[in-house]
């Protein structure tokens, strides 16, 4: 364990899939659970006002969305980071504010989390975040072309701890291969988990992807910050699970 309380999976301080993904992506078992998605009246008002400008859907019914024009959406040309599973957006907002020259596209299935992040964007006046409601694999597959992303962040994906549910985990070899395909050379995959078994799984999958090279959190010259803020969830669990930070660079 390091001084900052992070768990170090062996090798975590060190070091082409086809552009058209396999149909497997469309038939996969989804990696999220059903939850209630009620939002407050104030959040609904903010949603109605801002979602048409700052948000979009990954699918229109059964039809996946097409490629995003991020330059038009953000009104500028800048490096783009995709965060899959942003939750309520605590890390999303803090990291975007720390790097105003980076454009962040945050993906979440649950409307309630997106509504909370949208309200925080409105409250703080943050301009470099856009939101997508839907499945992160849909977004990677249909909305970004190869070599278009400077970073992909996956923080605290559902570990699906029971062995019979491991197939539902997001970071499987084919998904990591898809992420590698969408990253620019030098781009980063940054994953974080507090589940030791999932950390080992992610480490093995990432290390076995030939286009990714493991790097440490202190590696000089990284194209974006890897200083992830401690969330409310983590503060509650400080005496419990240790967080593993896992990073790979697209070669």
43 contacts: CB under 8 Å, gap ≥ 6? 115, 116, 118, 119
* Active-site position among 158, 181, 194, 218: 158
Q: What are phi and psi of 83, to 5 degrees?
A: -110, 120
Residue 84: beta bridge partners? 107
Inter-CA distances, 46 with 52, 110, 115, 127, Å: 11, 16, 8, 15
* 115 neighbors 41 (Cβ within 8 angstroms): no
Residue 158 falls in the annotated catalytic set: yes
Query: Per DSSP, which regions of 23-128 are E strands?
Result: 55-57, 59-60, 63-64, 80-84, 103-108
Size of the chain in residues: 251
Q: Which amino acids are annotated catalytic? A: 158
């Amino acid at each position: 364990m390091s001084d900052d309380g992070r768990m170090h999976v062996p090798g975590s301080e060190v070091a082409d899939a086809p552009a058209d993904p396999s149909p497997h992506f469309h038939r996969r078992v989804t990696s999220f659970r059903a939850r209630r998605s009620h939002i407050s009246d104030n959040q609904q008002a903010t949603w109605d006002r801002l979602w048409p400008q700052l948000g979009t859907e990954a699918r229109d019914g059964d039809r996946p969305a097409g490629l995003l024009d991020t330059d038009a959406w953000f009104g500028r040309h800048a490096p783009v980071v995709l965060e899959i599973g942003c939750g309520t957006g605590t890390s999303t907002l803090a990291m975007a504010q720390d790097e105003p020259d980076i454009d962040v596209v945050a993906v979440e299935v649950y409307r309630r989390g997106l509504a909370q992040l949208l309200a925080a964007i409105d409250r703080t006046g943050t301009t470099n975040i856009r939101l997508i409601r839907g499945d992160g694999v849909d977004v990677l597959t249909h909305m970004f072309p190869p070599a278009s992303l400077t970073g992909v962040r996956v923080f605290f994906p559902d570990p699906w701890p029971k062995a019979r549910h491991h197939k539902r985990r997001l970071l499987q070899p084919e998904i990591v291969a898809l992420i590698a395909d969408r990253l620019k050379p030098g781009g980063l995959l940054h994953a974080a988990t507090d589940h030791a078994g999932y950390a080992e799984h992610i480490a093995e999958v990432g290390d076995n992807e030939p286009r990714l090279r493991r790097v440490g959190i202190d590696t000089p010259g990284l194209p974006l910050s890897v200083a992830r803020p401690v969330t409310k969830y983590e503060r509650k669990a400080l005496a419990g699970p240790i967080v593993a930070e896992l990073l790979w660079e697209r070669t």
